[in-house]
Amino acid sequence: MSGGDNLEFEIRPNPAPVGDAERAALLANPGFGRIFTDHMVTVRYADGKGWYEPRVEARAPIPMDPASAVLHYAQEIFEGLKAYPLPDGGVAMFRPDANAARFNQSAARMAMPALPENLFLQSLQEIISIDRDWIPQGEDGSLYLRPFAFANEVFLGVRPATEYLYLVIASPVGPYFSGGVKPVTIWVSPDFTRAAPGGTGAAKCGGNYAAGLSAQAEAAEHGCDQVVYLDAVERKYIDELGGMNVFLVLDDGSLVTPPLTGTILPGITRDSLIRLAERAGRRVEERPISLEEWREGAASGRVRESFACGTAAVITPIGTVRSEDGEFSIAGGGTGEVTTALRKELVDIQRGRAEDPFGWVHRVL
């Protein structure tokens, strides 16, 4: 590939950044994903030229032709990760190399060009460096990073585009759940599936999330916080939540989670929790889990805890599972010993408060 491997970023500082007082007021209660920093990263791609013109510039609307390919054929992928303040005043990312690898796996599935890992990592470092003052310093604060790419060739035709735009934007965030970590109630969708074998379930593309909005609305209508999907073939095995992976904790302290067979997202938090659990001596099984096994296990006490996991909330305890056939509750709820311990260990590693046994923490500043 020409271009992209050894590119130097052009830095164009925002000529009118948010003032110190206004920024401090915003950071006092940032919420999640509703305020943004002063800058963004842009890198362009063209067939035969590769990636070129990497820039850090003022965050602004993107000029777009109405015939841009992404608007018609949805060639788009994204990632999500965080930069954390460290106890010594520094800043670190958590497993950004894993995000880089998954970004390119998604690109391959969506017939998009791969982005060199060093360019992906450098783009994150650049926006963290220039917008460092936007990182919340509270106990639960972090800078959420959103790298994404889309087809911006002006062309109407069903084929892979020849031009793409890669960007990174950043959003200072507090805890995902403002009231603290509490057990959620989830709805088992009777009609909708997230992905089928051979589909885009393992890719982090916007279409997967758009297709899930109807199911999420259905969950809300039934008084639930989230939706959980069953497999598209037999309609009996758990896949994942709308945007999070699922774990069950059994009465012997072991964990089970659905396998990565191409229909669910290979979550980086999921992988991290598996490795931490195994390091602690817990057995982890990646195998199909039927809804009936979950229901019967909750009733018998075999299933002691259930949780969902992802970048935004880390671990979300699952307290109640509701479906057309009724509902059942998991005894451990949000106070489960294993769920609580895993969440604490992972958060402490991410924030530099505990040993990093796998070299996951990538210091930036």
- 204 is annotated as an active-site residue: yes
Residue 231 CB-density burial (10 A; 0-12 exposed, 13-18 middle, 19+ buried): buried
Find the length of the chain.
Answer: 365
Take residue 117 and report the two structure tokens written for it. 């890992």
* CA angle in degrees (0–180, nearest 5) for 63-213-84: 65
Calculate helix-pair angle for 268-279, 337-350, nearest 10 degrees.
110
Closest to 325 in 3D by CA, of 293, 291, 302, 289: 291
Question: At 217, is the secondary structure helix, strand, or coil?
Answer: helix
Report d(CA 110, CA 93) in Å as an integer: 26
Tell me which of 82, 204, 236, 344 is the catalytic residue. 204
Could you give the residue ranges of the DSSP H alpha helices within 6-109? 20-27, 70-73, 96-109
Distances (CA, A) of 278 to 71, 281, 305, 359, 363: 44, 5, 17, 16, 25
Take residue 311 and report the two structure tokens written for it. 């970048």
Positions marked active-site? 204
